[in-house]
Amino acid sequence: MSKLTTKTIASHAKVAKAAPPTESEVIAPSPVAANWSGYLRVRSIVTETPGVKTFRLVPSSGEHLLPFTFVPGQFLNVAFWIGGARMNRSYSISSSPIQREYIDLTVRREPRGAVSRHIVDLLKVGDQIEAAGPVGKFTFDGTEADSIVLIAAGVGITPMMSILRYLTERSWAGDIFLIFTFRKPAEFIFGNEIAAIQRVNPKLHVAVTVTKPEGTDWKGSRGRITKELLTKTVPDLASRRVHVCGPQSMMEATKAMLIELGVAPDQLKTELFGATKPAPAAAGTALKPTAEATGPLVTFSTNHKAVRIHVDQTVLELSEELSIGIENSCRVGTCGLCKVKLTSGEVAMAVQDSLTPDDQANGIILACQAKPKSDIVVEA
Ligand code: FES
């Protein structure tokens, strides 16, 4: 569980009663782009729940302040060398951007996740981490709406925690509805801190539901998030801005319920936790499709390779078959690590969240999303 000291509670109490900050006190949002890269050092590690740890990271240079700012809800890309291979992953920042001296990354150990196991099992205080960012558009800083509904499952609470901490520290005047689901009571990430924030922030309304409480003394709500839970917790739900973060099945079910309950699609923001497509274990190990490729010709100009792509295959998947090392992490279009330059031809991309207007003007595409509409040439 989250460790909350008396000092932390006092600090929340203080900020909750403080006057709203002036314009100059509010941290300016950083550009939504991977515009910083460098090293951060692990200053402390807190075990939140079994298998979930928070890593507090500070500048490895010894500087007092972080070399970047971020907007609540953004994430960092991190890279590790594991077993001789470079591996990238993206993790949401769980701390508030008002804390300029550090960021917290809260990571769940996935039994088959090489990077999360490396981080949770092996990372120690003092270790350095290669990182880049911040990135992501799943953000909320209080200017977008006058209330917010945050719906999270499991470790999907991490970006919500950044938003919740930030809005509380700013004494934001709007109502915050937090609906959080997880499997067992022991998996209540940030449970103590959420309760403490609730005590000092009367605008925070929390509903928690546990899906597998059997064999425990859990006395709260049981089962998955339902329409009844949503409407009971959030008055006038249809008129509010809603953010949802969790695994794909939970997100799809929750989105469908919210739309049925009248939430406008443009007020509904989602962030997937867990990639939709598994990456191959290493470059060149992707399964080769058996049928002959009949799609457009893809030329990787740096590697002097040109082959036809399969219908529905992405440029990243094809590059992996050919052992062309295009960096990647999320594989769902949000981290920006797989950017490559398209020098000829046209592609379709379902998600382009991590492309800036500059990228778009300069022919940069996301390899994990790009499906050629014509013969193409990419710089890779
Ligand atoms: S791998 Fe993250 S945007 Fe493509």
Q: How far out from the chain centre does Cα 250 lie?
A: 16
Calculate the average pLDDT of the chain.
Answer: 87
Q: Which atom of ligand 1 is nearest to the CA of 351?
A: 3
Categorize the per-residue pLDDT at 137 as very low, low, confident or very high, splitting at 50, 70 and 90: confident
- Domain boundaries for CATH 3.10.20.30 within the chain: 297-379
Q: Which atom of ligand 1 is nearest to the CA of 367?
A: 4
| pLDDT attached to residue 290 | 52
Q: Which fold has domain 297-379?
A: Ubiquitin-like (UB roll) (3.10.20)
| Residue 1 scores a pLDDT above 50 | no
Ligand 1 binding pocket mutation candidate from 334, 340, 352, 364 (most atoms within 8 A of CB): 334
The listed range with the strongest mean pLDDT (26-35, 267-276, 367-376) is 367-376
Q: What is the largest CA-CA distance in the chain?
A: 66
Q: Which amino acid is at 248?
A: Q
Report which of 269, 276, 251 is spatially closest to residue 369, judged by C-alpha positions: 276
Q: Which fold has domain 147-272?
A: Rossmann fold (3.40.50)
* Ligand 1 centroid to residue 224 C-alpha, Å: 30
- Domain boundaries for CATH 3.40.50.80 within the chain: 147-272
Q: Which atom of ligand 1 is nearest to the CA of 330?
A: 2
| Residue 162 scores a pLDDT above 80 | yes
| pLDDT attached to residue 328 | 87
| Residue 186 scores a pLDDT above 60 | yes
**Which of 8-12, 142-146, 265-269 is least confident?**
8-12
Please report, rounded to a whole number, the percentage of residues in the chain having pLDDT higher than 70. Answer: 86
Report which of 363, 161, 154 is spatially closest to residue 251, judged by C-alpha positions: 154
209 versus 285: the higher-pLDDT residue is 209
Provide the pairing of β-strand 147-153 with 371-372: unpaired
DSSP state string for 46-87: EEEETTEEEEEEEETT--SS-S----TT-EEEEEEEETTEEE
| Residue 375 scores a pLDDT above 70 | yes
Which residues have CB under 6 Å of ligand 1?
A: 328-331, 333-338, 354, 366, 368
pLDDT tens, residue by residue, 268-312? 998 877 543 445 444 444 444 456 889 999 999 999 999 999 988
SS3 content of the chain, % helix, strand, coil (to 5): 25, 30, 45
Q: Which amino acid is at 76?
A: L
Nearest-angstrom CA–CA distance, 318 and 316: 5
Ligand 1 binding pocket mutation candidate from 317, 330, 355, 364 (most atoms within 8 A of CB): 330
| pLDDT attached to residue 274 | 53
Q: What is 29-135's CATH number, 3.30.420.40, 3.30.460.80, 2.60.60.20, 2.40.30.10?
A: 2.40.30.10
Categorize the per-residue pLDDT at 333 as very low, low, confident or very high, splitting at 50, 70 and 90: confident
For atom 3 of ligand 1, which residue has the closest CA? 333
Q: Which atom of ligand 1 is nearest to the CA of 354?
A: 3
| pLDDT attached to residue 4 | 33
Nearest-angstrom CA–CA distance, 343 and 376: 8
Strand partners for 239: none
Provide the pairing of β-strand 52-59 with 103-108: antiparallel
Q: Which atom of ligand 1 is nearest to the CA of 369?
A: 4
Dihedral angle sign, alpha carbons of residues 64, 76, 136, 283: positive
* Ligand 1 centroid to residue 331 C-alpha, Å: 4
**ipTM field:** 0.99
Report which of 340, 319, 323, 317 is spatially closest to residue 283, judged by C-alpha positions: 323
Q: Any idea what the Cα angle at residue 97 is, between residues 96 and 103, rounded to 5°?
A: 75
* Ligand 1 centroid to residue 316 C-alpha, Å: 9
Mean pLDDT of 201-208: 97
Ligand 1 binding pocket mutation candidate from 74, 86, 328, 364 (most atoms within 8 A of CB): 328
- Domain boundaries for CATH 2.40.30.10 within the chain: 29-135
| pLDDT attached to residue 350 | 87
Ligand 1 binding pocket mutation candidate from 319, 329, 347, 359 (most atoms within 8 A of CB): 329
7 versus 223: the higher-pLDDT residue is 223
